[in-house]
Structure formats: structure tokens, C-alpha cells
Amino acid sequence: SPRALFYRISYGLLDAEIPMAVLVLPMIDAVASGVVTTVDLENDDDSVLVIHSLWGLGVLLVGGESAADAISCSKDEPPAVIRRRVATKSVRMVAGPPGRGQLAEVAAADRHRISLDDHQALALAGLCRRAEDFWGRPLDIEWCLDRQGRMLLLQARPLALAADRRDRGEGRAEEPEVSGPVLLAGGERAAPGIGSGRVFLIPPGSGPDAVPAGAVLVCRDTPPALVMIMDRLEAVVADRGSVAGHFASVAREFGVPVLVNTGEATSRLAHGQLVTVDVDHLKVHEEASVPRPAGTKGKPARFADSPYLRKLKYIIDFISPLALVDPQSPSFVPESCRSLHDLIRFTHEKAMSEMFSIGDRRSTGRGSRRLVSDLPLTVHILDVGGGLLESAGPGPEISVDDIRSRPFRALWQGLAHPDIDWAGHGHFDWKTFDTVAIAGGVAPRESAALATYAVVSEDYFNLNMRFGYHFAVVDALCGPRNAVNYIALRFAGGGGDFSGRSARITFLAEVLGRLGFAVQVRGDLLDARVSGLDVPEMEKTLDMLGRLLGATRLLDMVLRDSDPVAGFVADFFAGRYSFSSSGSRSAGEPGDGSDNGGL
């Protein structure tokens, strides 16, 4: 069930850790049923156990749909009944068709009569005390009394206590009473604590998913389905419900305050009203500050330090860290892999290297070919079917004229636009930027580690392009079916400082947005995508994308946050592409870059 999955995930339990048993159990036609807590939760007294009891099957009690009689018994030998509280019980669940129960009215004479007499209560108390002694800790025990007068224990589970949470540093110390106007008083303490937030009443026809994070949920009942939204709740106030219900039990484990059996919460508290729920003192206050003793963690620890997150923090060290960064390093070997990220990085790098080096082994007609062009780029082309013309022949080198791939040719046309200056540079101390500037802002030809790789077919290409210190990946499908055509771009890194890289990303995002791309930016990482275009529009967009990549290869080294990006965007769409060389903008214009060698 969804609530079982939430519970399992919240505790960080893997599928392999919870082998499922198939239990075959008889349906007992019970006279009375309920739950025993071997600690008095309302009074935090471990010398007393409390029997919660109602007529018929215990489904209504566990589901938080009905109040129940409460019989408190001492754990002395022999046990004794200390006090009784009789609830009004107008309906009961009885055994119906196989596997199901059905509602029935409680006889008028029984509605205000206690559902267990003292003799039955003391017999049950003795059984539950023995169970607690056997397990060595407080328990939450479901029980029933059958029509033969036998008292049966159905199931037991550890009982979550506020003291347990305090011992783990997750809960709160004893908190002072909240001050402020009282909107509601009374009820029963199902799960202790204090919570503040805005009242949320689930609208008719809606379910728990409608409840927002940080809400104080006000409801008629506390069904188990509410467990699924436990992490969103600051507190819960219910007209009815049970201290011994399933929801209350889980709420105690997660430290969410729950006040039940108030009788009138849904009519007294208004939707959207800011309130503070003080379950310890059975009160709901109008907007009030929550007193917190010094040194207590309060609510954030409920889920921030949950078993689920603790397990994630443990396993993330074996997944996320990246140690294998430089493919040319002697330590770039399988033995250096320390995480899943390292394994993926290593296998990807070696696969790419292997795939594109096949052609260097004189395997005629197979593997990658080197693209010979006037651009200062070392490009290896791998044809996966129809990407090259038959006239390309078997040699190790090809020219642009040998390429059939429609989308690749369109992008290359933009990169090779005559107004893009691949040789000019601004007035920089180029030694600072190594040999990158010598190669026009891209990796030098002799650097195999920084080469550009392309996988091509007739209507598809994937290009991994390294422009010096930054990296661009272009992936495109350009065929007759407009619905599946797309262009995807990822752009990251740079040789300039963060200010320059951020400014260039802003420029790229502006231009790509005007070209029809959906753009997402995170720091100096940009992802962009456009889809659904016909072939002519795809080719036109790829041409413009090629111009953009060529024009901005060194822009991060000269651009700053203070430079008006709008002027560069206007230049680009006016056909002025040489941003990385001097003289591309007239002196005195806004953002003319006069202290950067003139843009």
C-alpha cells in the first residue's frame, strides 16, 4: 500500500531487507477488540498500561475513525484497574463476507456501556505485561475477545515514545506552555509536541495530496492514509481519532504532534488561520511564538536526520565523488576508481578513445576519420550509417564535402561562417591562457586529449566539442518527421573567471531563447533544447547555433557582469560575430570593452 511504502522508504529499508511473508489468518468474529499500549502515553507513565477497547472488530479504532473506551491498569502483581473512561460507541465493525467487514449499529444499551469488564481487562493486562517482559521494551499490541470468551493477542510492535526520540537527540525536552489566545481546548494527546503553521482543511473531493508542506492539518478523522503526507505536517488536530490508531503510532515515531477527539476542531478552526498546536497541554492557540528550550533541535530533525537520509548520506560517498578527472594522468586507471561516478567517467573516456582510435589502426574502411578543414579544430568523425558519402573513400582523412549528414553540415556551415574570426585575439597576456589562444580559443591540433569528436548518420549527429577550457555537446536529429526532430545543447566551463563565465552564459541564454530554445541555466552550466521543427528550420537553427558557438569561444575571457549583454545580443543578430577579437565594437559604445582590449 502507499502508506507501507512511505513507511519503508522513510526508514531507508531496501527491498532486499524486507522479505515478505504470506500470512493465512482466520477472521475472528470478535465481541470486542482494540489496542493496548504498555505505557500510559497521555501521562508518560511506564508503570501503567492502557487498554483501548470498542465493540466488534478493531478496524475503526486502528483507522482513527472512532473513539474507544480507555481502561488504565497498573503493572503491579496482581494488576489493578486504576481508572476507566467510557466513550460513545454508536457503530461497530462486524465480520461480513470473507475477507471483509461491515458496519452495524451498536445497540442503544451498549453505546455508553464499557466494552470490557474488570475481569476481562485484568486478564488482558496480564497477557500484555508478559509480552512486554518477553520483548524487553514497551509495545503496541492489537487484541480481540472472541465469542467463546478467549482473549487473543493478534500482533505487537515496538511502541514509539517521546523519551526514545529525546535519547536519540531528535525530540524535545519538556517544553513550557504556549502563551496566547486559546482557540480550542481539550481532546487527547495522541502524539506529543508543539507545532505551528496555517490550518489546512482538505476540500471536499480532494485527498491527502492536496495538503501543502508546513500545514497544520485539521480533519474529522485520522485515517492511515495520512501517513503518506507525514513529512509535510507541522501538527494534526482531529474531531475524532484514537490515541491507539495507526496514524497516531507513526506520528509518534516521526515526532509530529497529534491532538485527537477534540470534538469541534473542524468547526472552530478556520482554513488558512495561523495557529500553534500545544498537544502537551491540549490547546490550540491563535498565532503564537513557540517556546524552545536552549539546545533542542525542534522540528527540522524529524526528517532531516531520518534513517532514509542517513542511508542516502552513507551511500552517496560511493556514488557521487569524482577523483578521475585528467585522462592523461598516470592515475587514470581502473584501480583508482572509488565511486560509481569514477567508473562511469573511466568507461566513457576509454570507450570514446577506443571508438575514435580504431581509424588510426589502419583498419581500412572502419573507425573514425580526421576532418580536414580551415578551422583550427581537430575533429574525429565516426560514421554509424549514411553519414558520409560513398565518394569519401577508405582513407584516414575526409573533408566537409565528404559528409552527407544533413544536421552536421548545417552546424559546420555556421562554425565556418566567413565573418567569424578564428585567428584574431584581444590584447591579453596569452601566456596566462597557455596554448589555447595560439589555437584560436580551441585545443591545439596536436592535443589528442582535447580533440573534438562527432558521431554522424544521414539525419543525426552528436558532437563533443572542446573549446579550450570549456565544453559543448550538441545532439541533433533532423529528418522528415517533424515531431521527432530536435536540437539539444549542453555548454559548460570556461577559461575566464566566474564573472566572465556567468556573463557569457547569460549572453548564450538570451540568444538561444530568441532562436526558440527552451533554456535552463545553473551557475556556468547551460542546457538548451528545441524540437518539432521541419528540416529547413532545423538547418537554419543549426547554422545559427554554429555561428553562436564560434563567436563566443573566448567571450568569457573579456566579458564581465557589468558589461551590458543586450548589446552583444544585438550585435550577434546584426551579423557581427567577432566578439573575441579587437575592434568588433566601436569605441565609446556601452560595453565597448576598452579596458579589455576592445571587444
pLDDT along the chain (599 residues), means of 10: 71 74 82 93 88 90 83 89 90 77 87 92 94 93 93 88 50 63 90 92 88 93 86 92 84 89 92 92 81 47 64 84 82 92 88 61 59 89 92 88 96 92 49 41 46 91 77 92 94 65 85 95 87 96 94 64 75 81 40 32
Work out the angle at residue 130's Cα, subtended by the Cα atoms of residues 124 and 133, and round it to the nearest 5 degrees.
Answer: 140
Q: Does domain 26-158 have CATH number 3.40.50.2300?
A: no
Q: What is the pLDDT of residues 121-157, one digit of tens each?
A: 999 999 999 999 999 999 999 999 999 999 999 999 8
Number of residues written out for the chain:
599
Q: 162-304, superfamily in CATH?
A: Phosphohistidine domain (3.50.30.10)
pLDDT for 560: 54
* CB atoms inside a 10 Å sphere around CB 575: 9
162/164 Cα distance (integer angstroms): 5
Q: What is the pLDDT of residues 487-499, one digit of tens each?
A: 999 988 655 556 6
* CB atoms inside a 10 Å sphere around CB 531: 16
Q: What is the pLDDT of residues 268-324, one digit of tens each?
A: 999 999 999 999 899 999 976 555 544 444 444 555 566 777 777 888 889 988 888
pLDDT for 497: 59
Residue type at position 186? G
Closest-CA residue to 417 (of 372, 375, 465) = 375
pLDDT for 290: 58
Work out the angle at residue 543's Cα, subtended by the Cα atoms of residues 539 and 549, and round it to the nearest 5 degrees.
Answer: 140
483/532 Cα distance (integer angstroms): 5
End-to-end CA distance of the chain: 63
* CB atoms inside a 10 Å sphere around CB 536: 10
pLDDT for 598: 28
CA 475 to chain centre: 27
pLDDT for 298: 44
pLDDT for 522: 83
SS3 42: coil
Sheet hosting strand 30-37, strand order edge to edge: 81-85, 69-74, 48-55, 30-37, 139-146, 151-158
588/599 Cα distance (integer angstroms): 11
pLDDT for 555: 65
Where in the chain are all domains bearing CATH 3.30.470.20?
A: 26-158
pLDDT for 54: 92
Burial (0-12, 13-18, 19+ Cβ within 10 Å), 586: exposed
* CB atoms inside a 10 Å sphere around CB 124: 27
pLDDT for 291: 56
Backbone angles phi, psi at 530, to 5 degrees: -135, 145
231/420 Cα distance (integer angstroms): 55
Tell me what percent of the residues of the chain surpass a pLDDT of 90.
Answer: 40
Q: State pTM to two decimals.
A: 0.50
6/213 Cα distance (integer angstroms): 16
Residues 238-249, buried b or exposed e (16+ Cβ, 10 A)? bbbbbbbbbbbb
pLDDT for 313: 80
CA distances for 509 relative to 68, 469, 516, angstroms: 63, 19, 11
Where in the chain are all domains bearing CATH 3.50.30.10?
A: 162-304
Spatial contact of 367 and 455, defined as CB atoms under 8 Å apart? no
Residue type at position 147? R
Residue type at position 287? E
The DSSP bridge pattern shows strands 486-493 and 525-531 to be antiparallel
Give yes or no for a cis peptide into 78 (omega within 30° of 0). Answer: yes
